[in-house]
Amino acid sequence: MKRKIVHINTELCNGCGACIPKCAEGALQIINGKAQLIKDTYCDGLGACLGQCPQNAITITERDANAFDEKEVQTHLKTNNPQTPPTPIANPHQTPQWPLKLDLVPPKAAFFEGANLLLAADCAPVALKSFHNIMTGKRVIIGCPKFNDARAYATKLTDIIAQNNIASITVVHMEVPCCTGLKWAVNKALKDTGKQIPLKEFEVKIGGDITEL
């Protein structure tokens, strides 16, 4: 039979997974890095997933397809535990970025334009289990002022801030004194550029807790 059904453009899909939780029938899965309709009978063609795709890779098309089968869907959902839907592999508004080290990133880069910048201590992603919650929607730079020159960091940050339109800056450092050099470098860069950019500072405790300063 010819009916309306979801179509995914694999050329546009980046595998972010934002569409997965919105498909109540569990018809979509990330396979080999792309969203796929796993079975025609699971898709009702209503398109609840359409507005979730940041790449506009999902559309409704009309083609020959087996009819939507609600009973089959219920069996599928029970088998695959719908209470724990697949987790998106990336933030839909966050495209890949490389490099990450402060001494390696270019002063001028497309991924810095309009970015919410997160400057984090090297240790923070390991010490803080909720680090991914903080980095969501941000461009991440990591560094260690104990083993690198904080003055060189300040110079590099000055170039980045001067050459790009940075929307905000978040600094995440460990509670050890040497790590506060990251905040010092940011403050100096802001002073040297004369830009007024919203700034937040977080301190990660040795035990893994985090506090906003």
CATH of the domain at 20: 3.30.70.20
213 alpha carbon, distance to own chain's centre: 24
* Segment 140-170, tens digit of pLDDT: 999 998 888 889 999 999 999 999 999 999 9
In angstroms, what CA-CA distances link 70 with 1, 80, 153? 17, 15, 58
The parent domain of residue 54 ranges over: 2-79
- Percentage of residues of the chain with pLDDT beyond 70: 91
- Asked whether residue 100 is assigned to any structural domain, the reply reads no
Phi, psi dihedral angles at 200 (to 5 degrees): -125, 150
List the alpha helices (DSSP H) in 31-179: 70-79, 124-127, 131-135, 150-163
Q: Are 3 and 65 in contact (CB under 8 A)?
A: yes
- Asked whether residue 103 is assigned to any structural domain, the reply reads no
State whether 29 and 115 are in the same domain.
Answer: no
State whether 70 and 128 are in the same domain.
Answer: no
State whether 75 and 115 are in the same domain.
Answer: no
State whether 35 and 75 are in the same domain.
Answer: yes
- Over the chain (213 residues), the average pLDDT of each successive run of 10 is 90 83 83 88 84 82 91 82 45 62 88 89 84 84 87 93 93 88 93 93 84 85
State whether 132 and 61 are in the same domain.
Answer: no
Q: Are 186 and 171 in contact (CB under 8 A)?
A: yes
How many domains does the chain fold into? 2
